[in-house]
């Protein structure tokens, strides 16, 4: 890859005569320069084929470092994308102020133009403190790059007059934001599919504590009973989300080390498979350890026993790449204390259950609900919540009592009835959908629901029930050796 050292040119590269779609507003002669010049104000406009780096840098208290120069210095642009928009966003306090955009492709063979009308490359922000500049390129090759910076003064033509020039020649400049063009398939991202329902422990082992957690990687953990076969489905895409099809993926396993004095035992399974047309690949890991072996294992730090652990990570063997890490834990017993599990009805037919699991309408307790046919109306839904307050097994010996990460919950419905796990109404929409779930308000068809659903418990689970069959319906929830049965009655519409 070519060197990407920052070089500020005294004058910009000659503007080529390429058309752009928008014209950046000219500078107002009577407006002052921006006073907020920081990395948090400089970004690319994300779109198809444009992805901005986000290294998730945090301080020791978990606060994201938005003004870190290494937080988002790179923007990856797919080679077929010939226009990229860069944004200054200083907020309302920086409205109607001047900002200078500095672009440099020194040492590169491609040409570029921008949509700035002012020859000094100064643009006036709008009433929200935002300024946009679009760059159009021609003759792009892989590894081509364009450096874009912003200045709160006329740095290009009168750098010495900048407010802080005496302290530091570039104190009034932020950047460069490196726009780097690469071909499709660049920077594979290997994501563990949300169907695993594992606990995300990224915050426990995040980048500000351990550098080995890769950029954009997530770390997941889940507990299984010894002897279980675990399924690891991954989706492999490039940095822009395009699937990487028919590509060999290797699953790197921790081998026999189990975090103590007992070896992990694994059944034979392929350690290399190729992605399908959608970039998907699934591995199976077959554990062969016994309960007795698990309880002979001693954790060297906590001295706890009855649990063993492993480490799995897929790879494309490309550089760079980002892959989710998976840490399965195997224990001798998955039984939970009954007192740690609570289950109740939230709403029934759209009406809240005030304290218990019953709803009274016109003096009738839990009157029959309408049937769900092709559509599922709120009046036909029972919404419930499952909560586990103590995620440890029920071993009496404290040293044998092990944590249960994302224990499986199985929910089944009697014939004609349906169940679905949904997001709580208070969850952020982006977080909800990225987890592979929907809100109850988004369920409009019975085809979106299941007769049986199994998921890993990571936070209180919201479940909805409906039925297409008149009469009583039974919904059974099994978790941690306990069963909870909810009976509801449905009537013809």
**What is the model's pTM?**
0.83
- Give the residue, 63 or 333, on which the prediction is more confident: 333
- pLDDT tops 70 at residue 27: no
- How high is the pLDDT of residue 431? 87
- Give the residue, 204 or 86, on which the prediction is more confident: 86
- How high is the pLDDT of residue 300? 83
- How high is the pLDDT of residue 259? 77
pLDDT (mean) for 34-60:
92
pLDDT (mean) for 281-297:
93
Ranges 12-16, 356-360, 418-422: which has the least confidence: 12-16
Ranges 16-25, 46-55, 330-339, 352-361: which has the least confidence: 16-25
Residues 6+ apart with CB under 8 A from 443: 376, 381, 420, 422, 449, 464
- pLDDT tops 90 at residue 227: yes
pLDDT (mean) for 215-225:
91
pLDDT tens digits for range 451-489: 999 999 999 999 999 999 999 999 999 999 999 999 999
Residue 355 in tokens:
């304290």
**Residue percentage of the chain with pLDDT more than 70:** 91
- How high is the pLDDT of residue 331? 95
- How high is the pLDDT of residue 320? 92
pLDDT (mean) for 299-313:
88
Q: Are 78 and 241 in contact (CB under 8 A)?
A: no
Q: Exposed, middle or buried: residue 202 (CB in 10 Å: 0-12, 13-18, 19+)?
A: middle
- How high is the pLDDT of residue 124? 97
Q: In degrees rounded to 5, what are phi and psi of residue 292?
A: -65, -40
**Residue percentage of the chain with pLDDT more than 90:** 70
Strand order in 482-491's β-sheet?
Answer: 369-370, 482-491, 471-479, 408-413, 452-456
- How high is the pLDDT of residue 460? 93
- How high is the pLDDT of residue 403? 92
Pairwise CA distance, residues 120 & 114, whole Å: 12
pLDDT tens digits for range 75-88: 999 999 999 999 99
pLDDT band at 15 (very low <50, low <70, confident <90, very high): very low
Domains located in the chain, CATH noted:
39-182 (2.60.40), 189-331 (2.60.40.10), 338-491 (2.60.40)
Give yes or no for a cis peptide into 320 (omega within 30° of 0): yes
- How high is the pLDDT of residue 302? 85
Ranges 21-35, 97-111, 333-347, 389-403: which has the least confidence: 21-35
Residue 225 in tokens:
């009973």
- pLDDT tops 60 at residue 187: yes
């Amino acid at each position: 890859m070519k060197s990407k050292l920052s070089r500020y040119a005294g004058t910009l590269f000659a503007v080529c005569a390429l058309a752009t779609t928008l014209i950046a507003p000219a500078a107002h002669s009577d407006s002052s320069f921006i006073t907020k010049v920081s990395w948090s104000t400089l970004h690319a406009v994300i779109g198809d084929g444009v992805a901005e780096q986000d290294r998730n840098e945090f301080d020791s208290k978990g606060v994201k470092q938005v003004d870190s120069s290494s937080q988002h210095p790179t923007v990856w642009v797919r080679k077929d994308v010939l226009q990229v928009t860069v944004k200054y966003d200083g907020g309302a306090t920086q409205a109607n102020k001047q900002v200078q955009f500095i672009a440099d492709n020194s040492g590169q063979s491609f040409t570029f133009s921008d949509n700035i009308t002012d020859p000094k490359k100064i643009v006036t922000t709008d009433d929200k403190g935002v300024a946009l500049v679009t760059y159009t390129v021609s003759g792009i090759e892989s590894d081509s790059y364009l450096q874009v910076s912003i200045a709160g003064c006329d740095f290009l033509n009168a750098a010495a007059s900048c407010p802080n020039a005496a302290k530091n020649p570039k104190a009034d400049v932020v950047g460069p934001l490196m726009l780097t063009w690469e071909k499709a398939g660049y920077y594979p991202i290997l994501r563990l599919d949300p169907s695993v329902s594992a606990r995300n422990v990224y915050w426990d082992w995040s980048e500000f504590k351990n550098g080995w957690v890769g950029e954009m990687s997530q770390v997941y953990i889940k507990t299984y009973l010894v002897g279980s076969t675990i399924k690891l489905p991954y989706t492999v895409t490039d940095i822009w989300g395009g699937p990487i099809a028919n590509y060999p993926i290797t699953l790197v396993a921790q081998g026999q080390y189990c975090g103590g004095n007992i070896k992990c035992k694994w059944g034979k399974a392929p350690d290399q498979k190729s992605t399908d047309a959608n970039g998907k690949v699934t591995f199976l890991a077959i554990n062969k350890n016994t309960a007795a072996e698990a309880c002979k294992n001693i954790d060297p730090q906590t001295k706890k026993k009855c649990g063993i652990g492993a480490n799995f990570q897929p790879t494309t063997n490309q550089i760079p790449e980002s892959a989710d890490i998976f840490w399965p834990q195997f224990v001798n017993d998955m039984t939970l204390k009954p007192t740690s599990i609570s289950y109740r009805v939230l709403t029934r037919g759209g009406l809240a259950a005030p304290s218990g699991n019953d709803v009274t309408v016109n003096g009738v307790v839990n009157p029959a609900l309408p049937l769900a046919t092709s559509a599922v109306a709120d009046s036909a839904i029972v919404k419930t919540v499952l909560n586990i307050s103590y995620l440890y097994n029920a071993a009496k010996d404290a040293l044998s009592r092990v944590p249960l990460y994302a224990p499986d919950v199985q929910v089944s419905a009697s014939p004609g009835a349906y169940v679905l796990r949904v997001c709580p109404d208070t969850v952020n929409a982006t977080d909800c959908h990225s987890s592979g779930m929907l809100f109850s308000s988004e369920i409009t068809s019975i085809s979106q629901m299941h007769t049986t659903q199994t998921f890993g418990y990571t936070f209180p689970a919201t479940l909805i029930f409906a039925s297409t069959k008149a009469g009583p319906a039974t919904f059974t929830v099994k978790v941690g050796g306990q069963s909870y049965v909810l009976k509801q009655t449905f009537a013809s519409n």
